């Protein structure tokens, strides 16, 4: 296995620490006037999502963790698990709601998503950056309400509620940026 020194930490690097897989969210190399240098980090547990701040000696060694990313198709849910299929091998992967909670706001059946695996176990689902979804409910828009920045809540076909401009109506298909959860345009 490849190793990394804490002094070589950068954003996005995944490594093993205390039997857990961590990803570096933020880091700062500190060289005080007195005393030894150190690395101040903000790291996230990739399995449970918890973020902690930790200080490391730059000479500490850690095993690099190889995270595999695959594009799979969302098939269906049975109420407890969410099923995804590899489009090349037709192999199915089932995940619990906690693993794919953020992505579920923006995905519907037959959409492709990115799933991250560690040692063959899936742990995270990411929706495409942009999706087009149908509005299933919102208050009717009023004519002439196009120039203001006023918004209203609209329910998407996935059940998620998003803020949209007043001129958007029920039955419209809209484009959404899933990274921020914001309305972009009508389709």
Same domain, 135 and 174: yes
Same domain, 104 and 152: no
Ordered strands of the 161-165 beta sheet: 161-165, 151-156, 130-138, 173-177, 182-186
Range of the domain at 181: 131-186
Number of domains comprising the chain = 3
Which tens digit of pLDDT belongs to each residue from 124-168?
888 999 999 999 999 886 666 555 678 899 999 999 999 999 888
- Give the pLDDT confidence score for residue 1 in this predicted structure: 66
First CA to last CA across the chain, in angstroms?
A: 48
Q: What is the mean pLDDT of residues 40-47?
A: 88
Q: Give the domain-ending residue among 14, 39, 64.
A: 64
Ordered strands of the 38-45 beta sheet: 3-5, 61-64, 14-17, 20-30, 38-45, 51-56
- Between 169 and 144, where is the model more confident? 169
């Amino acid at each position: 296995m490849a190793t990394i020194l804490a002094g070589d930490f950068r954003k996005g690097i995944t490594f093993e620490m205390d039997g857990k897989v961590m990803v570096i969210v933020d880091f700062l190399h500190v060289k005080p006037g007195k005393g030894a240098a150190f690395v101040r980090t903000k790291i996230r547990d990739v399995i449970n999502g918890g973020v902690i701040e930790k200080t490391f000696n730059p000479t500490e060694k850690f095993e690099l963790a190889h995270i595999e990313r695959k594009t799979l198709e969302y098939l269906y849910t049975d109420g407890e698990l969410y099923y995804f299929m590899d489009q090349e091998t037709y192999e199915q992967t089932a995940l619990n709601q906690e693993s794919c909670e953020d992505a579920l706001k923006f995905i519907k059946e037959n959409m492709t998503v990115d799933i991250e695996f560690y040692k063959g176990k899936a742990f995270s689902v990411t929706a495409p950056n942009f999706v087009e979804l149908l509005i299933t409910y919102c208050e009717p828009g009023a004519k002439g309400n196009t120039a203001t920045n006023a918004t209203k809540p609209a329910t998407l076909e996935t059940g998620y509620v998003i803020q949209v401009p007043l001129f958007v109506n029920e039955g419209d298909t809209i484009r959404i940026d899933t990274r921020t959860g914001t309305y972009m345009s009508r389709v």
